[in-house]
Amino acid sequence: MDQIKDWQDYATQYGDKMIDFLPALVSSLLILFFGWWVIKFIVGYVKRIFEKTDYDPTLENFITSLLNWGLKILLFIVVISQLGVETTSLIAVVGAAGLAIGLALQGSLSNFAGGVLIISLKPFRVGDFIEAQGVSGTVKETSLFYTKLNTFGNQLAIIPNGQLTNNNIINYTEEGKRKDAITIGISYSSNIKLARDVLMKLMAEQEGIMKDPAPEVVVTELADSAVNLSLRYWALNDEFWDCHWFTIEEAKTRLEAAGIGIPFPQRDVHLFNHSEEEEKSELKY
């Protein structure tokens, strides 16, 4: 009989506690379901905004995932606090763990932040030809941590995003056109005006060289063995290198055909026979 009475007391005691706990449980479940629905709505709304704008898919996935998990963690804290669980110590533990992880992954976080900046600000896109960190090549891929370049020699260069965002980047593709400056030296005895006319005609005949801005030939230097002329013109990116190589080769051919010499460095060497000089001096004495 005593055991039955004890069980009845336990049942009554815990039953009363369950009844007292029931409102908190119901409110927590309501908060959980309503908060889950709100999170889905917010994340879906952000995704629709990204779909309407020209943002990189990598950035879109990252931000939506970060927003989704951040809101779910916040909802979890609200729910357990509604159930009466003390959340102050939990938040402190999570904060300390986050700080420790941040210090351990400082370099990776720098690359991660750089990746977010690159994807957001878009200093370059996939397919652009850039120069950075002493490496030049075509951008093959931009992730949150690294940027991959395909170099001229078809090597794969992997550059950390943290270094990219903290140093200079030259984007050769962004403007759509480039200006070239080819230096060609002619001899001092050559006619500068004739050489200029030959080179101007050469550039005018090429369809890849833009007419506006107009190409020009200017004297840039009176060097030791040559008068240096600079051929300056604009060309679209797709035609730039074809114009560059053709102009260099054809300029030499046409200048030589016009009788204009293209000098190369020369040095006169005078040899003296010191033994003969010494014999002559001895005969005098």
Domains recognised in the chain with CATH numbers = 2-104 (1.10.287.1260), 123-171 (2.30.30.60), 177-257 (3.30.70.100)
Per-residue confidence (pLDDT) for residue 10, from 0 to 100:
57
Q: What is the pLDDT along the chain (285 residues), one digit of tens a residue?
A: 555 555 555 555 555 566 665 677 777 788 888 888 888 888 888 888 877 776 666 667 667 777 887 888 888 877 777 776 666 666 666 666 665 555 544 556 777 778 878 877 888 888 889 998 889 999 988 877 888 999 988 999 999 888 888 888 999 988 889 999 999 999 998 999 999 999 999 999 999 999 999 999 999 999 888 999 999 999 999 899 999 999 999 999 999 999 998 887 666 566 666 665 555 555 555
The half-sphere exposure of 58 on its side-chain side, counting CA atoms within 13 A, is: 17
Query: How, if at all, do strands 177-186 and 227-236 pair?
Result: antiparallel
Q: Which residues pair with 231 in a beta bridge?
A: 182, 217
Of 150, 244, 262, nearest to 206 (Cα)? 244
User: Which pLDDT does position 105 carry in this prediction?
Assistant: 47
Whole-number pLDDT of residue 208: 92
Instruction: Give me the DSSP letters along 40-105.
Output: HHHHHHHHHHHHHTT--HHHHHHHHHHHHHHHHHHHHHHHHHHTT---HHHHHHHHHHHHHHHHHT
pLDDT at 89: 61
Type of residue found at 93: V
- Rounded to the nearest angstrom, the gap between the alpha carbon of residue 143 and the centroid of all alpha carbons in its chain is 10
Of the candidates 207, 170, 197, 168, the one whose C-alpha atom is nearest the C-alpha of residue 258 is: 197
What is the reported pLDDT for 111?
A: 78
pTM for this model (two decimals): 0.59
Tell me, what's the pLDDT at 45? 84
Order of strands, edge to edge, in the sheet holding 177-186? 177-186, 227-236, 216-222
Q: What per-residue confidence (pLDDT) applies to 273?
A: 65
**pLDDT value of position 12:** 59
